[in-house]
Every structure is written in structure tokens, then in C-alpha cells.
């Protein structure tokens, strides 16, 4: 199958997948209250076709900003989803998608891409998505844990924090990075972090490693008393009450995730 044929198959199967994931074919607009909402106007998805004079083996995944983020990943100008298909010199094809995470979480993105692949291969769908809001109705009576109160601050306090001088790079800097790790490296981290017969997950091992070296950087640079926070998105579908509710939510397309976090304070270590 040549590249042009592959692109035609992708376009046809994408239109079929959008029939089920119809929110991806809309756009986000502001309602009367100024809140963003998905307007399902069937506007469609932008599909970009590109060509590259490099082979797949020449792509440097150790520096993804150089090619993946800067050239292979499309720029989303409007809508919820934009797709770019880049034909490589070796005959391969790189398919990249940019989603609006206000509409879809990582679980829903995997659900969409898996369905798109099955349609392209003329295979049955593993799950038929649903976007029913009734599955996320609050409990009656509403129940909150005390920890919820610690996650929010009154608006006047938040606004006062915006006026704090930003002279300290460690206190106010924000850095975005993408890490590429080999499978054997992750397995080694997982093995080193597991003890007493209990094996932790790969995400726990990698997150703990990054958390530790970031906290060590604060200590080595003399910034004692500063706190290093780690935040991990967690799929909330598994934690809803009741087995039947969890089964319904397994096909939920939307945003059902939380952001639990912990902090570790840098301190002087004495031997």
C-alpha cells in the first residue's frame, strides 16, 4: 500500500470514527456565562498532509522538540482535534493528533485512536463510546473529604499571589519537558524501587525517580525549605462507586480524571 492509499484510508475511517466521537468534529465556544462549551456543529476536523525527506530511523526521539513537536505535530488553530499525516522518505507514515484536553482526557484519546484504527482495518470496535452526562451526577447527599478544603484558596488570596515579585527562578519558574526512556531503563527503575516482594507500577517508578532528582537539585543548590510537588493525572473511571457504574464509564468519552499531588520539602541531610 502506497502513502496516498494509506492517507485515503485514514481519511475515510476518520469520518466514520467522528460519527461516534462527534464532539471532536465541533468547536469550543463561550456560553452566556463565559464558560467554554462544546458546540457540536459538525464543522469537521482539519487534516494536514505533509512530506519529509528523512527516514523513520533518522528521527531523534531523544530530543522530541527538534522534530516531533516542531515538525511532525500539527498546530491547532481551531476546533477540538487536528490531524497531520507526514510521509517519510522510507515509505513510512507518521500520524500525529493534537487534541483539546478540555474535551478529552488521555483515556478518551486512547479510546478514540483505538476505534479509529479498528475502523481503518475493518475490525469491530472494542467499546462503543458514550457521552451521557447522567453517568457523572453527584451523589445525594453530597459527600466531601476534608482534604478537598486544602486544595482551594479564596479568590482574593489567589489574586494577591499574582502580584508577588517573580525574582526567584526556583520559586516561580515553570519548565515543560518530554522524556524519552528505553523500556529496559524503565524496567530497571521498577526493579530498584520494588522491595519486600511488592512490585510497584512503571508510572510510580518513573514519577518517583523524577521527583527524587528534582528534590535533590533543590538540596544541592542550597534551596532548603522549598517544596517539590509532584502531580499525576489519575483516571477517575475506576474509582466511581459500584461495579455497574464502572462498566458504564469504561466507554465514557470526555474528561474524567483528577490531579492528586504530594509535596516533598528539601532539607539538609546529616550523616
Within a domain: 52: yes
Determine the pLDDT at residue 175.
64
Determine the pLDDT at residue 172.
52
CA torsion sign, 120 to 121 to 123 to 125? negative
d(CA 116, CA 163): 47
Is 124 found in the same domain as 242?
no
Q: What is the SS3 assignment for the chain?
A: CCHHHHHHHHHHHHHHHHHHCHHHHCEEEECCCCCEEEECCCCCCEEEEEECCCCHHHCCCCCHHHHHHHHHCCCCCCCCEEEEEEECCCCCEEEEEEECCCCCCHHHHHHHHHHHHHHHCCCCCCCCCECCHHHHCCCCCCCCCHHHHHHCCCHHHHHHHCCCCCCCHHHHCCCCCCCCCCHHHHHHHHHHHCECCECCCHHHHHHHHHHHHHHHHHHHCCCCCCEEEEECCEEHHHHCCCHHHHHHHCCECCCCEECCEEEEECCCCCC
Determine the pLDDT at residue 166.
54
Q: Write out pLDDT tens, residues 4-34.
A: 899 999 999 999 999 999 999 999 998 888 8
Is 120 found in the same domain as 182?
no
- The three cell numbers of residue 84 are 497531520
> pTM of the predicted model, to two decimals?
0.71
Within a domain: 142: no
Per-10-residue mean pLDDT of the chain, 271 residues long, equals: 90 94 91 86 91 87 71 86 93 91 89 94 88 72 71 64 54 65 90 84 87 80 75 79 75 81 59 35
Within a domain: 34: yes
Determine the pLDDT at residue 207.
86
Determine the pLDDT at residue 97.
93
Which range marks the domain in which residue 53 is found?
3-129
Determine the pLDDT at residue 98.
92
Per the structure, the count of domains in the chain is 2
Amino acid at each position: 500500500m502506497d502513502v496516498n492509499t494509506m492517507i485515503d484510508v485514514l481519511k475515510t475511517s476518520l469520518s466514520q470514527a467522528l460519527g461516534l466521537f462527534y464532539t471532536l468534529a465541533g468547536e469550543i465556544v463561550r456560553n452566556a456565562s463565559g464558560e467554554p462549551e462544546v458546540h457540536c456543529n459538525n464543522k469537521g476536523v482539519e487534516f494536514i498532509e505533509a512530506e519529509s525527506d528523512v527516514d523513520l530511523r533518522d528521527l531523534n526521539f531523544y530530543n522530541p522538540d527538534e522534530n516531533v513537536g516542531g515538525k511532525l505535530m500539527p498546530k491547532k488553530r481551531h476546533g477540538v482535534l487536528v490531524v497531520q499525516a507526514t510521509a517519510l522518505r522510507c515509505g513510512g507514515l507518521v500520524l500525529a493528533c493534537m487534541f483539546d484536553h478540555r474535551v478529552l482526557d488521555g483515556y478518551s484519546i486512547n479510546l478514540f485512536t483505538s476505534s479509529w484504527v479498528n475502523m481503518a482495518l475493518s475490525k469491530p470496535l472494542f467499546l462503543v463510546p458514550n457521552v451521557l452526562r447522567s453517568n457523572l451526577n453527584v451523589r445525594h447527599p453530597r459527600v466531601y473529604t476534608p482534604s478537598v478544603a486544602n486544595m482551594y484558596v479564596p479568590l482574593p488570596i489567589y489574586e494577591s499571589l499574582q502580584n508577588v515579585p517573580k525574582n526567584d527562578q526556583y520559586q516561580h519558574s515553570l519548565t515543560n519537558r518530554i522524556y524519552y526512556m528505553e523500556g529496559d531503563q524503565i524496567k530497571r527503575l521498577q526493579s530498584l524501587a520494588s522491595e519486600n516482594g511488592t512490585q510497584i507500577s512503571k508510572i510510580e517508578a518513573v514519577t518517583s525517580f523524577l521527583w527524587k532528582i528534582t528534590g535533590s537539585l533543590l538540596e544541592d543548590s542550597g534551596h532548603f525549605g522549598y517544596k517539590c510537588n509532584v502531580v499525576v493525572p489519575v483516571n477517575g473511571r475506576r474509582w466511581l462507586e459500584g461495579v455497574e457504574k464502572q462498566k458504564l464509564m469504561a466507554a465514557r468519552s470526555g474528561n474524567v480524571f483528577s490531579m492528586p499531588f504530594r509535596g516533598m520539602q528539601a532539607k539538609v541531610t546529616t550523616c
